[in-house]
Amino acid sequence: MEDTLRNKETQLVESAMNIIINEHIKLTHSINYNEIASMIPTINNAKNIFVIGAGRTGLMMKASAMRLMHLGYQVHVVGETTAPAIEEGDLLIAGSGSGTTSGIVRAAETAKKVGAGLICFSTNNTSPLATMSDQTVVIPAAQKQARDENVSKQYAGSLFEQSLLLTFDALIQTLWDLDGSTASELWKRHANME
């Protein structure tokens, strides 16, 4: 009996993994890679880069900030105690599936008011965040309020959050390839007080 239960659980885990992977494979055919590539000059020309996201999307943005730091960019996470004021010539990169999260929209308004650049990752290119952004990367995943199983069988925006991390990692990999730094050079910037 116990072996039968384990086999069923094992099959369910494998099925879940296949669902997730197949959703990402489908999504990769829908992403506009020009939108991502067009961000590169903006990132390279920014004095300071700020990232923002809420909830699980915020965690993906923090991971992306760390990777940008490894590449040598001056990066700050909005809301952290060490983040300075954003200024003209800086860049805010915002992640929001809906593009309507009030704290993120307010931060974007502040960035625009001081003359900073604004890039966003969202599922919605007509949202308040996307319409004020200089550049928008649309990730065609279900928003967390959507229950459309044709887009994703996963719960509450999981596909967007996972895809945000993968998309940003593809951007990081591209920036690294263009930069030509070795892994050893990047490792020197890795945290050494853990």
Cα–Cα distance between 91 and 100 in angstroms, integer? 19
Cα–Cα distance between 167 and 127 in angstroms, integer? 20
* Catalytic residue (choose from 9, 23, 87, 161): 161
DSSP category for residue 98: S
Pick the closest to residue 164 from 23, 57, 70 (CA basis): 57
Cα–Cα distance between 192 and 194 in angstroms, integer? 6
Dihedral angle of Cα 135, 137, 138, 142, to the nearest 10 degrees: -120
Dihedral angle of Cα 34, 78, 106, 110, to the nearest 10 degrees: -80
Amino acid letter at 104? Answer: I
- Concerning whether 161 is annotated as a catalytic residue, the answer is yes
Residues marked active site are found at: 161
